[in-house]
Amino acid sequence: MKKYSLSLFALVVALFVSNCGGGDPLIDPIKAGLNSQNYEQALAMADTAIMKDPTNGTPHYYKAVVYNNLAKLEANPNDRTPLYEKMRSSLMEARAKYDVAESPAAEANEITPLILDTWELEHNEGIKYATVDSVMESVDAPLSWSIAHLNNATTINPDSVLSFDVIAQIYYMNQEPAKAAESITTAINLQETAAASEYDRLGSYYFLSQQPENAVTAIEEGLEIYPDSVFLIEKLADGLFQIDQTDKALSVMDRLIQNDPGNARYHLVIGTRVYQRVLSLSDQVTEARDQIFDLERNDGSQEEIDALNERIETLEAEMQPLTDRAESELLEAAELDDTIPSTFNTLGILYQNNSAALFDKRNNTVDNDEAEMFDTQAREEATKAMQFYEKAAELDPDNTSYWNSLFRIYTLLDMREEAEEAMKKAGM
């Protein structure tokens, strides 16, 4: 019986030696290093194999496997990134070798599964650190960990639209809109035709990162594909207003109104944006007048004073039609929908500013009759402002800013009891 057992053992050993003898002498040492988790040895053997046979893709493949295993040993996702970069590089090198080989090794079919399995691991980990409470609570900066994992996912699989889309959302959650814009741009560029909503998000990220010009460009690109997208048209108009292309913005909004003339929100947007432009011009007028005051007080150049006066005239000439347009649009919005507090508040601001301008004229004239006329007109405008502020406060009684505005108007019109009540509701 012992003799039989020894013979059987000898046969097994012989078979094992025979199988080893049929292996690849360049690849087997790499596999041995992997199996023993001696990764330094495996890398050294892979480099040796590459030197001996530069056309062989298999050493590059196993080198990638080593880097993948090393990455999994790192708890911090940021420490995995350079390893994944080397892994990706080795896999691409292996694929290039296999593509031109007459008879590629079986490992050629393992490249894509290895990429996808590793990508899936990192992508899903990234989502966990942004959505799963128990995971988020395990680290100090969970969104940063989420971003790191997702960056790893895109390092391994740079064609993943999904990962770039998700990482854009996480950057937004982490208050990094500029990086969110970069990521969603990559997602858009990876697709043959991106969705309108992705261009909308890109525009939003650019606005949030104080890049309105880029936002306009991105939205215009989206509108080339989706010319009837209402939300892209609205966002384009908003961007054009922000970069002071008022005429173009109004033209864009007019397109919307033509398609839906009864939409109060469109009229409100136009009225509000146009009036913001008026206020910007008004600030420039005030600045110019302050400069004139300083020049006159310090015996400045009459030429400079004349130039500033000309600029004021130009600005005021631009302001008047814009003010009229804003008033018209806001009144239209109020008529179409009398439930939006901001419509009435903006009208209140418009008429209050009209009143203040007329009071200035009253104070700066030496003609008593003219002063009386300006005073009457100023109080009429203040009364209109009061009525609109009251409507806004009626619709949104908890808004203290509305009551604050009413307090100032009541005080101006010498309505003491009303002013006292408004002051209380304003929390003053």
User: How many Å apart are CA 130 and CA 124, to the nearest integer?
Assistant: 10
Query: The tokens of 221 are what?
Result: 């690109």
> What is the pLDDT, as a whole number, of residue 299?
82
- Looking at domain 338-428, which of 1.20.120, 1.25.40, 1.20.140, 2.70.98 is its CATH number? 1.25.40
**Whole-number pLDDT of residue 300:** 82
Nearest-5° Cα angle at 34, 31 to 35: 85
How many CB atoms within 10 Å of residue 150? 30
Tens-of-pLDDT digits for all 428 residues of the chain? 444 443 443 333 333 333 444 478 999 999 999 999 999 999 999 999 999 999 999 999 999 999 999 999 999 999 999 999 999 999 999 999 999 998 999 999 999 999 999 999 999 999 999 999 999 999 999 999 999 999 999 999 999 999 999 999 999 999 999 999 999 999 999 999 999 999 999 999 999 999 999 999 999 999 999 998 888 998 998 899 888 888 898 898 888 888 889 999 889 988 988 898 889 889 999 899 899 988 888 888 899 999 999 999 999 898 999 999 999 999 999 999 999 999 999 999 999 999 998 998 899 888 999 999 999 999 999 999 999 999 999 999 999 999 999 999 999 999 999 999 999 999 88
Q: Looking up tokens 């405008």, which residue turns up?
A: 381
* Pairwise CA distance, residues 86 & 66, whole Å: 10
Domain 338-428 in the same topology as domain 22-121 = yes
**Cβ neighbours of 306 (radius 10 Å):** 11
End-to-end Cα, the chain, rounded Å:
105
244: which 2 tokens? 């002071």
What is the Cα–Cα distance from 255 to 233, expressed in whole angstroms? 9
The fold adopted by the segment(s) 22-121 is 1.25.40
pLDDT at 238: 85
Tokens of 237: 């108009």
Q: What is the pLDDT of residue 112?
A: 97
Tell me which residue has tokens 């030429």. 303
What pLDDT does 83 receive?
98
203 and 223 Cβ atoms separated by less than 8 Å: no
Domain ranges of the chain: 22-121, 275-333, 338-428
Report the alpha-carbon distance of residue 181 to residue 206 in Å, rounded: 6
Distant-in-sequence, close-in-space partners of 160: CB < 8 Å, separation ≥ 6: 119, 123, 153, 154
SS (H, E, C) the chain: CHHHHHHHHHHHHHHHHHHHHCCCCCCHHHHHHHHCCCHHHHHHHHHHHHHHCCCCCHHHHHHHHHHHHHHHCCCCHHHHHHHHHHHHHHHHHHHHHHHHCCCCCHHHHHHHHHHHHHHHHHHHHHHHHHHCHHHHCCCCCHHHHHHHHHHHHHHHCCCCHHHHHHHHHHHHHCCCHHHHHHHHHHHHHHCCCCCHHHHHHHHHHHHHCCCHHHHHHHHHHHHHHCCCCHHHHHHHHHHHHHCCCHHHHHHHHHHHHHHCCCCHHHHHHHHHHHHHHHHHHHHHHHHHHHHHHHHHHCCCCHHHHHHHHHHHHHHHHHHHHHHHHHHHHHHHHHHHCCCCHHHHHHHHHHHHHHHHHHHHHHHHCCCHHHHHHHHHHHHHHHHHHHHHHHHHHHHCCCCHHHHHHHHHHHHHCCCHHHHHHHHHHCCC
Please give the pLDDT value at position 11: 38
Instruction: Check residue 225 and give its pLDDT.
Output: 96
pLDDT on residue 253: 86
